[in-house]
Amino acid sequence: EPVAIVGMNGRFPGSADLQQFWEHLKSNHDLVTEVPADRWDWRQYHGDPLASPGKTLSRWGGFITDIDKFDALYFNISPLEAELMDPQQRITLEAVYGALEDAGIAPGSLKGSNTGVFIGVASSDYAGILRSSPAFSSQAQYATGSAHSVLVNRISYLLDIHGPSEPVDTACSSSLVAIHRAVEHIRNGDCDMAIAGGVNALLSPDLTLSFSQAGMLSAEGRCMTFDQRANGYVRGEGVGIIILKPLSRAVSDGDQIYGVIRGSAVNHGGKANTLTSPNPVAQRDLLLKAYRNAGIAADRVSYIEAHGTGTALGDPIEMDGLQQAFRELYAENNLVYPGQGDCRVGSVKSNIGHLEAAAGIAGVIKVLLSMKHGLLPGNPHLQQANEYIKLEGSI
């Protein structure tokens, strides 16, 4: 059975809520800024990473405001425990309660229910910061405040819900895999409803320095998805949560329905050119599996929210995988390729940077908002398509 999205909430760079997020998207705003002083002093680390270890040319990022603000008493959490909680735990809690409110669900009404929680989370910046202070890292609350397992388990605990409660770390795909798991668990009967999404917070320069050494980040601080000038991505942070129910139940409950998930799939690229290189054949196979699972004819697809990291290698490989998949899907449906339709492709990373573990949910919420408002936002930095992206003869 299809699964309905009946509630959503989130905070993304430059956007305190989803209304602000949509206003920025429809206006094609670039929400990347210099690293704010309350995170780290980028000047201390600025330099050529190839010439000087511990340096980066990237002084940019997509940041949310007031990440240090939290109403601990509302959640019946002590001030000490709140202080030792990773901000990722705090903002996820807030987003979960906001998504439930958006869905018209009183948190207390879920007590004892078979509701699952699936959240993509990967970074541990705050744990590293606390480790530098024995006064904090020796506290009992340090362990629970830093654990990704507790990020989801705390939600289940506070709501007193009894479905599966799982953190998911598959790097950039974490929040999408979390949604996939939520859908599968609902379909398998492991839970009746699910809370799913992802979170990422940039609190330390450590990973920025490491990714710079690997040549992943843009020195210009712009994620120029699909553009000839693309030279890397920009890191970003945020949180996004959606509430999922079986479609039949959502209809019978009279819920608002933002969108419907008809199919999903997960795979791995296996051995590619390098450990972090994408594999177009594996991407093609994944798309084929997902669309076959969904039972949707290829010529009905009118928009694709791409990964679109803005790298000279990754963007063409992703587009190649898409084209391979759709050629095969068109053939399966006895359709002439390319079709007469109009399929658009975009990526929210052009607006907010790469949210890593929360990247997928940012894209999902962008699409849901686009459907709600009947408008597809553009790609802010697309001027001239990457010469290795061949759009002629494709959908």
Q: Which domains does the chain have, with CATH numbers?
A: 3-373 (3.40.47.10)
Model pLDDT for residues 365-391, shown as the tens digit of each residue: 999 999 999 999 999 999 988 888 887
Place of tokens 């305190």: 16
Tell me what the pLDDT averaged over the chain comes to: 94
Place of tokens 């210009």: 220
d(CA 208, CA 391): 33
By percentage, how much of the chain surpasses pLDDT 70? 98
Pull the structure tokens for residue 14: 């430059």
What does the pLDDT read at residue 395?
Answer: 60
pLDDT at 341: 64
Q: Is the pLDDT of residue 153 over 70?
A: yes
Q: CA triplet 361, 166, 205: central angle to 5 degrees?
A: 60
Strand partners, 27: none
Instruction: Give me the sign of the Cα torsion angle 19, 22, 26, 27.
Output: positive
For the stretch 203-219, pLDDT in tens is 999 999 999 998 899 98
Q: Which H helix or E strand runs over 91?
A: helix 87-102
Neighbours of 276 (CB within 10 A): 11
Confirm if 299 and 265 have CB atoms less than 8 A apart: no
Q: Classify residue 76 by burial, with Cβ atoms within 10 Å: 0-12, 13-18, 19+.
A: exposed
Query: How long is the chain?
Result: 395
pLDDT band at 394 (very low <50, low <70, confident <90, very high): low
